Structure 1
Amino acid sequence: MNDLHQRIAASFNAQGLMATLGARLVRVQDGEVQIDMPFAPGLSQQHGYAHAGAITSIVDSACGYAALTRGPVGCEVVTAEFKTNFLRPAIGQRFVAVGRVVNAGRQLAVVTGEVLAHAAEGGDAAAPKVVALMQATMVYVNPR
């Protein structure tokens, strides 16, 4: 694990919501972060799909941590705004949120994200389907 990954992992591991969702940090590289969340009945909405709140939460975090990979050492990020488009019902055994930096300045980062739904693992597993897209602005802040 390199310094960048350790820095992101330390912040990620401090988030109670990610632990509640069963989410885990699976990839950290300059400008991109991936977060995996297994489906669980406790994360469903009334039709049995993964709830939009859970999907939005993991992609917001993936976008925020992607921005943090480009932030000054010692800073953190908070979300200033985001827009999420849901393309289809979130049906799958696990969901992978990918956040990517579009532009990082001194105070703000503009990022995009997507959430991929993965069917059950195995030889006949269908290709992952994009279930949500996000556009977000993250703000670099000094932690207190």
Structure 2
Amino acid sequence: MANFEHGDFHARIVGSFASQGAMTMIGAELTRISHGVVEIELPFDTKLTQQHGILHAGVIATGLETACTYAAYTMIDTDASLLTIEFKVNLMSPGRGSRFLFRGEVTRPGTNIIVTDGRGYAVGDGPAKLIASMSGTAMVVRDREGFQD
């Protein structure tokens, strides 16, 4: 269930997310967009697992990086874009659940560099379980060919 707040960044993020083939391929959807926070949800799919039947670490990293970068998009001018320049993921628990929630939040907005933190949760019958955390850095890109949203 989507919980979108209004703002200049909303339509831009929705359009950009829809153009990402990777998000379509894994079945991810935007479920929250607010100033400094974006959430992406993903249903469990065996095509996204590793050899032990749990969500693949690469898929977890993809969900976290995307949520964090779009959270940063809520902080920049509409004539700018972003590129992730660094991230670190800590995998804390196996990715077992019927759905997964990836929440990205801006920790430190800046003119040229934005720092974000992300949390990944497995959702099932009981309470959501923290499975991963991420710290990321995005660079604001202006007036560079091929990087307009």
> Normalising to structure 2: TM-score of the pair?
0.90
Judge conservation of contact 2:9–2:78 (CA < 8 Å) in 1.
no
For the pair 1:96 / 2:101, whether they are aligned, the reply is yes
Distance apart, 1:4 and its partner CA: 2.1
For the pair 1:105 / 2:104, whether they are aligned, the reply is no
Q: Percent identity?
A: 38
> Aligned partners of 1:92, 1:12: CA distance in 2, in Å?
24
- Residue in structure 2 matched with residue 17 of structure 1 by the alignment: 22
Detail structure 1 runs of 4+ shifted over 4 Å in the superposition. none
> Aligned partners of 2:21, 2:60: CA distance in 1, in Å?
16
Distance apart, 1:76 and its partner CA: 1.6
What residue identity is the alignment partner of 1:127?
Answer: P
- Residue in structure 2 matched with residue 51 of structure 1 by the alignment: 56
The correspondence of residues 1-144 of structure 1 with structure 2, limited to 5 A, is 2=6, 3-119=8-124, 125-142=125-142, 143-144=147-148
Distance apart, 1:49 and its partner CA: 0.1
What residue identity is the alignment partner of 1:39?
Answer: F
Judge conservation of contact 2:9–2:73 (CA < 8 Å) in 1.
no
Q: Deviations over 1:32-59 (max 9, x none)?
A: 0000011101000000000001111011
What residue identity is the alignment partner of 2:98?
Answer: Q
Judge conservation of contact 2:48–2:56 (CA < 8 Å) in 1.
yes
Aligned length in residues: 139
**Structure 1 unaligned blocks of 5 or more:** 120-124
**Structure 2 unaligned blocks of 5 or more:** none
Distance apart, 1:132 and its partner CA: 0.3
**Cα RMSD between the aligned structures?**
1.0
SS of structure 1 residue aligned to 2:93 = coil
> Aligned partners of 2:54, 2:23: CA distance in 1, in Å?
19
Distance apart, 1:74 and its partner CA: 2.0
Distance apart, 1:72 and its partner CA: 1.4
Q: Deviations over 1:64-108 (max 9, x none)?
A: 000010011122211100000000100011100000001111111
SS of structure 2 residue aligned to 1:72 = coil
> Aligned partners of 1:97, 1:74: CA distance in 2, in Å?
26
